[in-house]
Structure 1
Amino acid sequence: MTKLKKISLLLCFALTVVLMYGITAHAAGSGDVAGAIEDTWNDASDQIKTVVNKVVFPAIDLILAVFFFAKLGTTYFDYRKHGQFEWAAPAILFACLVFTLTAPLYIWTILGM
């Protein structure tokens, strides 16, 4: 195939994909785009809240807990080796862990949801 045919075939394919996946958004006949966006947000906000509370926060909590206990262990071994216990890193990880464990209780009122 010539280079021109390959380019035209690629452009036709790209145009077909764009037309297949391009969706026109309508504002419910009245032309109120802001209202359509608000309605969509109101419908999706409960689902977003549920996913964040049940998936995102527990995943972050798990990661921080693993890092906290790993850092606590390495800090203890440094204490055994050098005789000085460094509290900064475990304290920061513990504060972050407490923050993310309690965040679902108050984060939604701060965000106004």
Structure 2
Amino acid sequence: MMNWKSFILGATVGVIGGYAVKEIISTKSVVSPEKVLDHVRKQFKQNGPISGSWIHMKTEPYEKQQIHYHVYKGGISKVNNGENEQYEFIADASTGTLLDVRELRKAQEPVY
């Protein structure tokens, strides 16, 4: 004969466990901004030393080629041939993968 207390306890644990697993799976995991910045810095260091870097700590929505992402935005500074170069980057918050990098151009000095 089945013990009803054991059955109810087992069913309750199963329902609570299932709910917890559902919640864990449904929440999208993100890579920490520190890890993303470290990854980007390593990528840039392959082409020489960097002099500075930064990253926004909050993710924001981003669309590229009709695909929607949550991303971190940040920047890297490098000195190349005595010239300071600055780059902005966009990285996927769920994987840390670089999605876009662009060099910031200096404004031209006015000619008088």
TM-score, structure 2 normalization: 0.30
Higher strand share: 2
TM-score (norm 1): 0.29
Per residue, is there more helix in 1 or in 2?
A: 1
